[in-house]
Amino acid sequence: MTFRMNKIWIAALALWGTTASAQNNKEKLVQFVKPIIGTHRMGHTYPGATVPFGMVQLSPETDTVGYELNGKYNPDVYKYCAGYQYDDKTIVGFSHTHFSGTGHSDLGDFLIMPTVGDLKLNSGTADKPRSGYRSAFSHQNEVSQANYYKVKLDDYNIQAELTTTTRVGFHQYTFPKSDNAHIVLDLMSGIYNYPDKNVWTYVHVVNDTLVTGYRQTNGWAKNRVLYFAMSFSKPFVQHGFRNYSKREIYRGFWGKFNQTKNFPEIAGQQIKAYFDFKTNEGEKVKIKFALSPVSMDGALANMRAEAPGWDFDKVKADGQQQWESELRKVVIQSNSREQKENFYTAVYHTMINPTVYMDTDGQYKGLDQNVHKADGFTNYTTFSLWDTYRALHPWFNVIAPERNLDMIKSMLAHYEQSPEHMLPIWSNSGNDNWCMSGYHAVSVIADAVAKGNTNFDVNKALDACVATARHRDYEGIGLYMDKGYVPDEKSGVSVSNTLEYAYDDWAIAQMAKKLNRQDIYEEFNKRAQNYKNVYDPAVGFMRPKLSDGKFRKNFDPLTTINQGFIEGNAWNYTLFAPQDPKGLIDLMGGSKRVVRYLDSLFTMHLPDAFFAETEDITRDGIIGNYVHGNEPSHHVAYLYNWTDQPWKTQERVRMILPKMYKPTPDGLGGNDDTGQMSAWYIFTNLGFYPMAPGNDEYALGSPAVNGATLQLANGKTFKVTVKNQGDKNVYVQKVVLNGKPLDGLSIKHTDIINGGELVFFMSNKHK
């Protein structure tokens, strides 16, 4: 799912130096972050600049592949979910918004490209790059760090540098001597683009250094409006516009003006602008590009608040210090530089999304299209909840509980503003994309309640969870409520929906129990058992069930297409009842049978034919039939803890870590999915994992680090110490918490948050 690269990181790390060990608390942990890392084949992460949870995610685009080809979906567009492919030879420009590691996409707003020579407003194509403004580049001249990106645009002899604040992209372009230097602003460009994606765009040239405007798009988010303010460090000598709109049946009487050159404004569906300069050899032209979800004035206010001057290096350093402060919340001990690079890149990935979605004054646009003000919290968007409820939000509950609270408050605001009156499913920029299965915002909320992170109206939140789970006309919920499962005829992902609804219902039940809402607890505790209704004991798998109660006849447990599952097959999804592992094991025939099942999952050979039509799965991302890159399997290795062979959990997780995570450009065994893959890596390296978010327990595994210290928000520290660590010493002989041996295979959230020390004693032999 992604690309190959090594040399860029060597260059980037050389700028930081190569300090020996993360055990030295004075060394910079940002040196271990490798911002350019993706998944096998597909470029689903990007190498650009951003600060933690930044609204601006400024990155190069390496092609302009369209979503549509000959009136149909173009499968090549999937490679460009994040805009950047390492194997590409040209850069098209630098845009300000991106998703990190998603399997679907949008954004790529406000592309900027510096050029010299003849003015070109077409981007050109990969096979004829000089037909447009794109430029060749070499990875030898490319550097990527946390909040910094640099590359030489070979065709123009321009060095491009990027950095950011939360809401401002800061560009620095070093030009050659030229009387024909240009900055192109392309409002037509975008990710997952197609001709009608732009609803409207507007550009206002305020003066010879300031430009404002907005872009409204109809994409994955159906009604997304983003405003900008663009400031130049030196006046441009002239500017112009090109309107490529073809469907404006009525244009009014604007023909009285020549809008193409030095006119103060332009509006249309398809607009490009350019700004001309005269430059000296080595002259730096800087651009500050601020975003706002509310207004052009809001964007300008964001710029003035966050980037008032023109000191590029200071903005870069300030952003990198933000990363350093976040990374330092967990300091690991390791003798392996590769492991440190993996670990801190994972921590970096967990803090790209969700993203801040409000101006510096707290204003943002809600789902009702009205302007709201976040009162006492930071408003966030980019909630890929089908992925992130599993480990990312639980990780925030450990390391950044206040931030997770703000995310929950953002979800509750989403609920209040939603015309459908539902919690977010997959939210993006004041919209819901309605992507994937389940209603997993309830898991995030219930997990916070279970772990005591409750500085919000918990009863009102429970009401929102219940209203979402009772929304009968959404994705088969009504039939699920009536029958105890989603019938196969009514949904192409009927089994996935049934299983994931049942888990979410369990989360609601746990929350209701804690809040003494007995009627809600009883209703949803019963619903949580619905996972059993799609298990067919005759074949030993979860299986699509028809409305008449019979199981579908045509069924293949290895196939991922048209079998009732989303991003998975029956082999993997049959194990999806993390809320009731003991009940699932009993349902499947007991411990011995489930151990054989799990062993087969990890060791069998899955023929290529069974994932040939699945975009986000390749051979490199599979271990047997276990697909780590698809999140429904993330708890699976920990299921052995509920069998009579728990030591196999330790064996499996230590096997998965090096196979699915590498400090290379194809270093992830699947999409990072806005931080979920990385959160799994962090927890698993530390030796414990949130098997079922919504309770206060973590399943124990096998730590892969030599040790770690977590700096908690309450001022306490939690240490993980590993005795007799080694590549072969994957088995845990004994676990001691604060001097007392543990009897079971789990620890509680309070064990972590109260501070103390968890000691693992390792061996090369299992107990």
pLDDT at 504 over 50: yes
Q: Clarify whether residues 395 and 312 are in a common domain.
A: no
Q: For residue 1, tell me if it sits in a domain.
A: no
Q: Give the CATH number of the domain where residue 24 resides.
A: 2.70.98.10
Would you state the pLDDT for residue 247? 72
Q: How many CB atoms lie within 10 A of CB 612?
A: 10
Q: Clarify whether residues 308 and 347 are in a common domain.
A: no
Query: Which tokens sit at 13?
Result: 């790390």
Q: Residues 545, 551: contact at Cβ < 8 Å? A: yes
Q: Residues 492, 485: contact at Cβ < 8 Å? A: no
| Whole-number Å distance between alpha carbons of 7 and 663 | 12
pLDDT at 14 over 90: no
What is the band of 12 on the pLDDT scale with cuts at 50, 70, 90? Answer: very low
Q: Clarify whether residues 319 and 378 are in a common domain.
A: no
Would you state the pLDDT for residue 614? 73
Residue after which a domain boundary falls, among 325, 347, 367: 325
Q: Number of structural domains, the chain?
A: 2
Q: Clarify whether residues 341 and 408 are in a common domain.
A: yes
| Whole-number Å distance between alpha carbons of 531 and 512 | 20
Least confident of 251-255, 436-440, 697-701: 251-255
Q: Clarify whether residues 758 and 711 are in a common domain.
A: yes
pLDDT at 61 over 80: yes
Task: Report, as an integer, the average pLDDT of 106-111.
Answer: 96
Residue after which a domain boundary falls, among 325, 356, 373: 325
**Cα-Cα-Cα-Cα dihedral sign, residues 722, 725, 730, 731:** negative
What is the band of 3 on the pLDDT scale with cuts at 50, 70, 90? Answer: very low
Q: Clarify whether residues 120 and 205 are in a common domain.
A: yes
Least confident of 199-213, 493-507, 612-626: 612-626
Least confident of 277-281, 488-492, 670-674: 670-674
Q: Clarify whether residues 493 and 626 are in a common domain.
A: yes
Q: Clarify whether residues 143 and 201 are in a common domain.
A: yes
Would you state the pLDDT for residue 9? 26
Q: For residue 2, tell me if it sits in a domain.
A: no
Residue after which a domain boundary falls, among 310, 325, 340: 325
Q: Clarify whether residues 64 and 108 are in a common domain.
A: yes
Q: Clarify whether residues 272 and 365 are in a common domain.
A: no
Task: Report, as an integer, the average pLDDT of 147-156.
Answer: 98
Would you state the pLDDT for residue 38? 64
What is the band of 671 on the pLDDT scale with cuts at 50, 70, 90? Answer: confident
Percent above pLDDT 70 for the chain: 95
| Whole-number Å distance between alpha carbons of 130 and 133 | 7
Would you state the pLDDT for residue 37? 64
Which residues constitute the domain of residue 167?
7-325
Q: Find where tokens 């069924």 sit.
A: 555
pLDDT digits (tens, 9 = 90+) for 455-500: 999 999 999 999 999 999 999 999 999 999 999 999 999 999 999 9
What is the band of 629 on the pLDDT scale with cuts at 50, 70, 90? Answer: confident
What is the band of 23 on the pLDDT scale with cuts at 50, 70, 90? Answer: very low
What is the band of 5 on the pLDDT scale with cuts at 50, 70, 90? Answer: very low
Supply the angle between the helices 392-399 and 401-417 in degrees, to the nearest 10.
Answer: 130
Query: Which tokens sit at 685?
Result: 């390296």
pLDDT at 16 over 50: no
- 418: part of which helix (H) or strand (E)? none
pLDDT at 13 over 80: no
Q: Clarify whether residues 290 and 347 are in a common domain.
A: no
Q: For residue 640, tell me if it sits in a domain.
A: yes
Q: Clarify whether residues 290 and 343 are in a common domain.
A: no
Q: Give the CATH number of the domain where residue 469 resides.
A: 3.30.2080.10
Q: For residue 209, tell me if it sits in a domain.
A: yes
pTM given for the model: 0.95
Q: Residues 35, 13: contact at Cβ < 8 Å? A: no
Strands 707-711 and 330-333: antiparallel
Average per-residue pLDDT for the chain: 93
Q: Residues 230, 169: contact at Cβ < 8 Å? A: no
Least confident of 36-45, 475-484, 507-516, 752-761: 36-45
Task: Report, as an integer, the average pLDDT of 516-523.
Answer: 98
